[in-house]
Structure formats: structure tokens, C-alpha cells
Structure 1
Amino acid sequence: MSSVCLYFNVHQPFLLKSFSSMDIDVRHTYFDMEACKAAIHEKADRCYLPCNKIMTRLINKNRGRFRVRFSISGTTMELLQLYRPDVIDSFRKLVNTGLIEILAAPYYHSLSFLYSRKEFQRQLSKHQKLVKKIFGIHTTIFNNTALLHNNELSKYIAGAGFKGMLCEGNVNPIDPVNMPVPELNLLKKIYALENLVLNSGCEKTIDTWGCLQSLDHFEARESFQSFSNIVTDFEITLIRQSIEKLKKQSALRPVRTPLL
């Protein structure tokens, strides 16, 4: 069976204030820092810290066989530095195990490569410097926003000295727009495997043996690479908590029979 690598995208943007035409030349602060503070606190308490504890436990339990990749946007790192340095410390402890990899990415989780090469280069450089400052590491794998990929980006990333890049799992090696660059390893997202694992994880009564058999089935049916990537947002646990809460609320809500 091929190795499975979990990849988590961690992103919290700066939130904007309500800004009307009447505020022009009157208000000069565009960001709602109170809303940013509340959002990062919620994610830290309900997602980042609990999940990082689970990661630490799995690393200790599996003795080097459990590895994870994180792509943390620059805005997220900024907000964590401002309001939740304890979360930065928890990520730093994970990185120090040597089993957690931090990926390079556009600083603002933007689509800057499609708009301006100069802006893309600026954001990539800014992100690498912040990762180096916080975690003391040099990134070697690149993750573009939404896993977007094309020939120009591959050539640029390879020329920038990166060893690999995450991309969508449906990249066709004979597609003239998405032909792989020999110097760059494309780490593909495997949709079938990802859906299997993530959907199974939602169920409280998961059939572990059945899940393993399904993994073998997918490996036999699909053309798997040595590493199969499962790509998802780190906040997926927070989203599921909200969904479960809504389900419980709707289940408790009395059903009204319409009058005939």
C-alpha cells in the first residue's frame, strides 16, 4: 500500500469593516481587528490547539511513521502572533519533531500568479521569510492557492529551487497546458482516497476493516504514486462541529403539522 500524507491548509484572512462611500477620507482603517481577533480565538480554541494535541499524540504513538504537511498563510501567522502565540508554539513544537513539513505558499492565500508575476514573487518571498523567522526552516515544497497548476507556474517554481509542488490529482501528463517539468515533483491530490477517508471520518461507527479493504481496492484500481495526498482545510473539524450542532438543533425542534 502506498504511503498516505495528510496535508492541511490553514488560513484566516484579515476581515474587512463595513465601509461606505461616506467613509472615504474619513476612516482610514479598512480591517475589523476585533472581528479578526474573535475569529482567530475561535479557531485556536476549537480547532488549532485540540488538533495539534492529536497530531502530537499520533506522532509519539507511531514513532516516526505519521507525517503531516501544513500550509499556513501569512495572514494566519500574523494573527496568531498578535493574539495567540500559544498556537504558534504548538505548531513550532510539531515542526521540531522533524515529522511536520511547512509548505511555501502565496502570503495572502491569493491567486497572484494569475495576475502579476512580480506580486506573486513578492508574496512568495514574504511568506518564506516569515516561515523562516517563526519556525527556523527553509521551505522546499510549494502549494499554490486552490492547488492551481500550469506549465508557467511549474517552470517558475522549479527555477526558484523548489523540489515539488502540490497540484490537483487530474493533471494529465500529455496535456500541453499541464505538462510536468522534469525538475519538479508533482504531488497529486487523490480525490477518491480523500473522499473515502474524510467521509468515513464523519461516521461515529466506522468499519475500520472495511475502510482498509476500500483503500486496497482504490490502490488496485487507481494509478497511485508512492505518496498519496489527502488535502483538506485544517478547519474542517470546526465546520463539522457546526454542522453537527445544527443537526442536533433541528432534531430537537418540534415539527408543526400544517392545518388542513
Structure 2
Amino acid sequence: MEVFFLMMGLWLTVAVALGLRRPKGFGGAALRARLDAVYGEPHELVRVTPAAFPEADLEFYDRAKRELENRKYRWLGDVEDLTLSRIYPANRTFLRIFSDAGGMIRASAYHLHPRGVVVSLLQLVQLFPRHLRVLELVSEVQGTFLVTSNTHGVDRLEPPPEAKVERLPLQTSVGEIVARHEARITQAVKAHPERAPVSFESLEDVLASMARAHVAMARHRQKVGGLSRDELERLKGRPLSATEEAFLREVQGTEKPEPSSS
């Protein structure tokens, strides 16, 4: 879910920041409002049934379920983020939630099929694939979120310092993602045996952890002013022009510094 939030905040950000096609009246202030909507308020997550998502790749969800259950993970339920669905109504999806046998890892499998003019432009310049099938594993240890997912090159907004994200290639198998994350949490526990991971026994435990992660991400987005200079320059691949500097100030809600009188 941590990576899911980052990608949902990324879509319009990239299109507008790169100047591919800016919707009429959609300047920096409007982009900031959209980012605040994604990262600001607590998100409403509700149980759903796959039948409500006719465009979802249900075969992927079922395959992920089989492979995780073969590794002793428990399926806890399917949920939709209604907050994000209201912001991106053309891109509704759901998350299939699991926890491992030891209760130290929560897992989310989800299929993103970005639609709409802006996302189509991103696909044309190969900034976002037409279909994205993600498995994301998370362990929470005393306010730090250890995250492993197959989203290398896709989630380009920086996570908060509380999230230690390792992005594997898109085609990484379920088994490889699980093995890598289990190695990371094992290493973390051995390095700090006094720090007990949060236990995930129920769907409610997982949703509570997601809510805590969202608070960390929202706090980070506010701290950087919605979009940081480093993020925008990475997206552009070069230093910012004067126009882009003005756009960034509008996103961040800052005024241009007054020239020195000395």
C-alpha cells in the first residue's frame, strides 16, 4: 500500500511536471490540491468483492493467492481505497491482503490499469506500463516500514524516511519477492532483536498499519511542499528552467525571493 500511494500520487504529477499536456487551468496550485487529496485526509478502505471490478485481472489475483498460500500466507480479504477511487474514478482497483504465518509481514497484491488522457500520455513516452501487476510486502518495526515490491522504475516519488523501500524489477516472481523480503526482515530482526515487528493477525491489524504508513507519507509530502525540487529535476532529467521554477513555487505555495538590496 505504501508503493500504491506513491504511484497514485505520481500519475498526474509526472504528466504535468513534464509538460506533456497540462489540462486547462491545471497549474501548480491545482496539482498541489490533487497531491493533498491523495496524501492528506485519512483514507477510507472497505471490503469488496472482485465481481465489482470487471476490468481487473482476476487471474493475477488468484495466481498471487495460490502462490502466497503455498508459502503459508493467509488471505485476509479484498479491499478498495474509496478515497483514491473518488480521486481517480476511471482507475478503480482493489487490493488483495495477506499476512504471513508468523504475522510479521503483510502483503498486498493489486492490478493497476491506468486509464485517461494523462496516463495515456505517460504510456506513450514509456513512463508507465499499460498494466501493472504488483506484489508489495511490508513489515512494520517501531515506526519504520520495510517495503519490498516489484515496482522498479515506476514509483518515482520519494517515500518518507520511515519507509525503507526496495524496488525489484517488474517481472520479478512472487517467490523471489517473498524470499527477498523475508531475508530483509530476518536481517533486521537479527540486527536489532530488541525491536519487535508489529503483528498482523487480522485484516484490521493490516488496515491499522496502512493508516500509520499513510500518516508518515502525508507528513513527508507536507514537509517537501507536495513536490520537492529533487523529484522534479529527476523527472525532467536536468536543472529547472525559470518557468519550471515558477511552477514548483506554485506547487509548494512559496513566493519568489525578493532580490537583495545590497
TM-score (norm 2): 0.25
Over alpha carbons, which structure has the higher Rg? 1
TM-score (norm 1): 0.25
| Structure with greater helix share of residues | 1
